[in-house]
Structure 1
């Protein structure tokens, strides 16, 4: 029984290490989103850190329109990045988790 517990603890540490490695890797995964008319482009990491914003000069003349574009485009990019982030971290955690009866959280 004690050996099983030590084995489980080892697997939990391994799972934690995989999750941390995945978090670091997601810093280099870029998500790009562009407005429907290509006047605004944003790029962020899968960890949701904004890396760049490209704005068409036409949008600089209308503050309210630019704000709307930023909100819509950034929200879509963040949504994509979040889906990638959650799916990658869940896969990393599931791969390293020991099989504990009743603890099938990652189905």
Structure 2
């Protein structure tokens, strides 16, 4: 039994290391999102760090319209990045979890 516990602890530490490596890798995964008319383009990492924003000069004439575009497009980009992030980290966590009956957290 003690050996099983040590094995599980080792596997959990290995999984934690893989999760940290995955988080670092997700800093290099870029997500692009654009408004429907492509007047605003946003690039962020899968860890939801904004890397670039391109704004069509036409949008600079109307502050309220630009704000609306930013809110809508940023929210869509963050949603995409979150899905990628959760899928990647969930896969690593599920792979490394010991098989404990009743603990099917990552189905």
TM-score between both structures, scaled by the size of structure 1: 0.98
The Cα of 1:85 is off from its aligned counterpart by 0.4
The Cα of 1:71 is off from its aligned counterpart by 0.3
Structure 2 distance, partners of 1:18, 1:96, is 9
Structure 2 distance, partners of 1:14, 1:27, is 21
In structure 1, the partner of 2:66 is: 66
In structure 2, the partner of 1:13 is: 13
Structure 1 distance, partners of 2:102, 2:24, is 30
The Cα of 1:92 is off from its aligned counterpart by 0.6
Which secondary structure does the structure 1 equivalent of 2:20 belong to?
helix
Which secondary structure does the structure 2 equivalent of 1:36 belong to?
coil
Structure 1 distance, partners of 2:14, 2:99, is 13
* Number of residue pairs matched by the alignment: 107
Which consecutive unaligned segments of at least 5 residues does structure 2 have? none
Which secondary structure does the structure 2 equivalent of 1:105 belong to?
coil
Stretches (4+) displaced over 3 A = none
Which consecutive unaligned segments of at least 5 residues does structure 1 have? none
